[in-house]
């Protein structure tokens, strides 16, 4: 409940304030957001499975975001930045889909 509330507050603040993304963060922010969405999807699935744990969520959230950003940073340094960020997005997309499928099965029994 607190998490949902935080999400809404965050979106509202982000829309209300016209924040500029700092240049050094610009390549990583989209990936980080997708990684965080993946962590959120995993947490929702765990919640429905009845095995949700706050600490696990926090750690997985932070590590997801950091790993994704690090991969992209590494890719940029190696000169394969755009390819590697595509790869990260694809993997995260697959995970989000599979988590969403589990959630769907739990919620709708189908």
Partner 1 sequence: MRPRPSRAQIVAGLLCALLGFAAATQVRQVERADFSELRQDELIEVLDRLNSEAELLEEQNATLEGERDRLQANRNDDEAAQQAARARAEVQGILAGTLPVEGPGITLTWRDPEGQLTAPMAYLLVDELRNAGAEAISVGDVRITASSYFADDGSGHLIADGQALASPCEWRAIGDPATLQTALGIPGGVLATLRTLGGSSDVTVHESLAIDAVKRLEPLEHAAAIE
Shorter beta-carbon distance to partner 1: residue 11 or 101:
11
Nearest partner of 30 among 69, 81, 73, 79, judged by Cα? 69
Stretch that binds partner 1, among 28-36, 88-96, 100-108 (CB under 8 A): 28-36
Query: Does 93 sit near partner 1 (CB under 8 A)?
Result: no
20: enclosing H helix or E strand = none
Shorter beta-carbon distance to partner 1: residue 57 or 99:
57
Closest contact distance (angstroms) between CB of 13 and partner 1 is: 5
Tokens read off for 27: 């390549």
Query: Does 40 sit near partner 1 (CB under 8 A)?
Result: yes
Tokens read off for 1: 């409940």
Taking the C-alpha atoms of residue 38 and residue 63, their distance in angstroms, rounded to an integer, is: 12
| Alpha helix positions (H), 17-80 | 29-49, 54-78
The residues binding partner 1 (CB under 8 A) are: 2-15, 18-21, 23, 26-27, 29-30, 32-33, 36-37, 40, 43, 53-55, 57-58, 61-62, 76, 79, 81-82
């Amino acid at each position: 409940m607190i998490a949902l509330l935080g999400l809404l507050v965050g979106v509202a603040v982000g829309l209300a304030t016209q924040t500029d993304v700092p240049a050094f963060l610009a390549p990583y922010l989209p990936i980080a957001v997708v990684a965080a969405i993946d962590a959120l999807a995993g947490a929702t699935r765990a919640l429905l499975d009845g095995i949700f744990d706050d600490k696990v969520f926090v750690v997985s959230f932070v590590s997801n975001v950091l790993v994704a950003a690090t991969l992209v940073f590494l890719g940029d340094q190696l000169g394969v930045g755009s390819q590697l960020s595509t790869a990260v997005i694809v993997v995260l997309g697959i995970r989000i889909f599979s988590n969403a499928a589990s959630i769907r099965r739990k919620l709708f029994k189908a």
